[in-house]
A and B are shown apart, each in its own frame.
Chain A
């Protein structure tokens, strides 16, 4: 009698132990920390390899032909019907972002048959990242991984592949980088140079399964008048490709961008031909100098100066030696000479009265004959030329100086005057 409490405790313990033994031990499957979570029923306890996880080297092959797990199905038991192989996939699989296909029966493999599995068999493809689980469904081992026996009201767990890697991360990038955009870097009378800006790799897949393997290299070459490739080479960074040629030659550059998996863009090209600088355009009319107060000015009182009209860019079109040019003379500064020995070498153009001008001068003494005020306008000249249907430029053509009409500006001395009022 005195042993009754002990017997009750032992009975409860036995029940708990039996429940624990029968409960599916699926927690081990979450050891890889998958962001999707491992599929329900996956049980890798009996995998024969020290590691049950493999990350395949990224490939450009959406069918993942180098998947070593595509030939791992064996019939393990003589009893037919024991080895039903299943697969579970998620990720950017079958071209659908976040696809979670769930357990799918691949096929039954009876002993001693050996069978293969790969994406090509099913017409599926991987884009970006996908995760694959391979397992088999077997009543014999069901009891070893939780509960499971024929006739049980609950399903046996899916056992992990015990011959290969039951869990695999697959990365596919089959998309080429962004298209390079070659352009003319410099042009001269007997040569032309091309270059392009770096581009980035574009990845495959979408969302969390987007995967870009990274930029690999550029392949570039030149042609002259459609001839064979010249100077074809690979480079990790954009190059400057130059060619000596005649003005009548059409020189083209071709650039292909490839990522590390060899996904390559179509050749991007740009053409041009050597061109010399055009003759300098006529110097623009610099206009006249205006002042406030109007003549006569007063000694000791600031006078405001400006150019009329205010200088603006002047565009000129030319045609020389069969080439069309477009030239722009852009005013950048004005040099002022106020006639009394004071000069402002790189000043502004001033502003018409009544706006306050940025060009002011205060004369210290009168000059009845007038001070001779002068202004020069400094222009920066650039040119473009027409290559095919495209205007290429700008290229510098130096500077020009325009002379504004001179202003004779008499200045009087202000006289104090006493007036009686009242």
Chain B
């Protein structure tokens, strides 16, 4: 008899999640182009600060752990060499946005100057650059975070 009751408890325990009210599901807020632009601008500025300091710390506020993990080896390599990648006079603009799947994907175009700086205070001359940075945003832990990103080679640029 006791064993029979135990099976019933196990059955009910397995059934419970299926009967849970739908209202308990996470409600993802809408993400329009303007909001996405602000998020991506902040994320790329954080990424730029991370490379300028060879430190993943600035990434924490805008990037999910797996996105930080993807950048961490590059930052570690810079730190190991005593090198930083500095940017200045950057102008950023959103050149592509596609909402969907509880988030969206955007591409920022960044025009500015970049240089290699060294731990001893020296630096190479500034070089003018333009880059396009792709990033995917997703709702995670009650906030929007970058969950995937990459620098696009020119053949993949959004025109």
Contact = CB atoms under 8 A, between A and B. Distances in A.
Interface of A: 48-50, 55, 57-61, 64-68, 70-72, 163-164, 169, 171, 211, 213-214, 216, 260-262
Interface of B: 70, 73-74, 77-78, 80-81, 83, 85, 111, 114-116, 124-131, 151-154, 159
Given A66-B115, A66-B129, A67-B116, 16 more contacts: A57-B114, A57-B130, A57-B131, A59-B127, A61-B127, A64-B127, A65-B124, A66-B85, A68-B78, A68-B83, A72-B81, A163-B77, A163-B81, A216-B111, A261-B111, A261-B130
A163 B130 CA distance: 25
Looking at chain A's contact residues, the main secondary structure is loop
8 contacts: A55-B153, A60-B128, A66-B129, A163-B80, A163-B81, A214-B159, A261-B111, A261-B130
A240 B148 CA distance: 44
A164 B73 contact: no
Contacts of A213: 130, 154
Contact of A169 (B130, B153, B159): B153
Given A65-B125, A72-B81, A171-B154, A58 B131 contact: yes
A260 B78 contact: no
B124 A211 contact: no
Contacts of A59: 114, 127-129
Nearest to A214: B159
B90 to A, nearest CB: 11
A66 B130 contact: no
B154 A66 contact: no
Nearest to B156: A55
Contacts of A48: 73
Contacts of B131: 57-58
A204 B151 CA distance: 21
A341 to B, nearest CB: 66
B33 to A, nearest CB: 19
B85 A68 contact: yes
Contacts of B152: 55
Given A65-B125, A66-B124, A71 B77 contact: no
B83 A71 contact: yes
A64 B151 CA distance: 17
B111 A50 contact: no
Nearest to B69: A50
B151 A55 contact: yes
Contacts of A64: 127
A58 B132 CA distance: 10
Given A65-B115, A66-B116, A58 B130 contact: yes
A414 to B, nearest CB: 76
Contacts of A68: 78, 83, 85, 116
Nearest to A61: B127
A66 B77 contact: no
